Structure 1
Amino acid sequence: MYRNSCTSISSQQGNVYIVAIFVIVVMGMLALNLTRISWSNQDTLTREVLGTQASFLAQSGNEWALTHLFPLDQGDDYDSLVIRCGSLGGSAVGAANALVANSGVACAAPVISCVNPFENNEDSVPDELKYIQVSTRAICNDGNVFEVEREETVWVKGVKL
């Protein structure tokens, strides 16, 4: 068999160009999709870290409020808790600022609140069912796009001796 001299290599160069363009387009699409996946993973990780920071900050706020509500060597009955709950406001702001300053995270000061849900109808609820609700809301952001908010709530009951 002899090679046909009419079909030279120069007449087949158009096919090589088509294959080369196809390979470049396919590789470009793969690179673009891998870049999107990488950015998506980074965004997810950022949200997860901010959410964890906000959750821990909210938990720290609740723990601070509980130490305020249950000081050492003082009564832990429901009436004493109601009084301490009412006085929580001013000191909670200072504690919230201190929590953020000592944590080293880029979060806003958490909002610590104490609510007596039985304030209006205390007489109609038995003492063993009364509680106080302490909640802390923390917001953390990365300064650019993401902002994550977490709120943790604790129900506190008085202790009768």
Structure 2
Amino acid sequence: MYRNNHTSRKSQQGNVYIVAIFVIVVMGMLAMNLTRVSWSNQDTLTREVLGKQAALLARSGNEWAVTYLFPLDEDDGYASLSTRCGSLGSSAVDASKALVENADIPCHIKKITCTESPTTTPVELKYIQISTRAVCDSGNVFEVEREQTVWVRGIKDE
């Protein structure tokens, strides 16, 4: 047995440094990608939460509008609903402020609208459309907007 003189220790010393640098670079890239995925998950979660809050606030606005249109012990015919629909706008501003103040969320109601069916609609098919648009934001980073719409009809007088 004899020793191979062609590959001495001095000629192999640089290989360890190259392998170490390669491992450090690869691990650094993996760490950066994991951090990026983590931030992406946090952004997605933030948007999801804001979207749910906006949707629930829009739903609350619609529920308020329906209770405004159908007060207890009042006439529920289409003519009465039409009159209340016309006056909904002035009350909606106060209601939207109250909904947001009590919710303690970074949201606001953009608008609550009440629209009557077209005049060409037959009397037995007339309806009223209530639509609420809510916006939630997270300090100028994300802004999520949701709109919900409901249709109501008057109860036929007999």
Question: For the superposition of Structure 1 and Structure 2, which TM-score range results when normalised by the shorter chain?
Answer: over 0.9
Residue equivalent to 2:68: 68
Pairwise CA distance, 1:127: 1.5
Extract unaligned runs of 5+ from structure 2: none
User: Matches of 1:110 and 1:99 in 2, distance apart?
Assistant: 12
Match of 1:149 among 145, 151, 156: 145
Determine if contact 1:141/1:148 at 8 Å carries over to the other structure.
yes
Residue equivalent to 1:135: 131
> Which residue identity does 1:65 align to in structure 2?
A
**1:80-105 deviation per Cα after TM superposition (whole angstroms, max 9, x unaligned):** 10000001111110000000000010
User: Matches of 1:101 and 1:10 in 2, distance apart?
Assistant: 75
User: Matches of 1:18 and 1:158 in 2, distance apart?
Assistant: 80
**What secondary structure sits across from 1:109 in the alignment?**
strand
Determine if contact 2:54/2:145 at 8 Å carries over to the other structure.
yes
CA change 1:6–1:126 in 2 (3 A) is closer
Determine if contact 1:86/1:114 at 8 Å carries over to the other structure.
yes
The TM-score with structure 1 as length reference comes to: 0.92
Determine if contact 1:58/1:110 at 8 Å carries over to the other structure.
no
> Which residue identity does 2:10 align to in structure 1?
S
* Map 1:49-60 → 2, pairs under 5 A: 49-60=49-60
CA RMSD of aligned residues (A): 1.3
**1:13-54 deviation per Cα after TM superposition (whole angstroms, max 9, x unaligned):** 111111111111110110111011001100100000000000
Extract unaligned runs of 5+ from structure 1: none
**What secondary structure sits across from 2:93 in the alignment?**
helix
Residue equivalent to 2:122: 126
Residue equivalent to 1:21: 21
User: Matches of 2:144 and 2:23 in 1, distance apart?
Assistant: 42
* Map 1:89-100 → 2, pairs under 5 A: 89-100=89-100
Residue equivalent to 2:80: 80
Residue equivalent to 2:156: 160
Pairwise CA distance, 1:126: 1.5
> Which residue identity does 1:60 align to in structure 2?
S
The TM-score with structure 2 as length reference comes to: 0.94
**What secondary structure sits across from 2:117 in the alignment?**
coil
Determine if contact 1:57/1:110 at 8 Å carries over to the other structure.
no
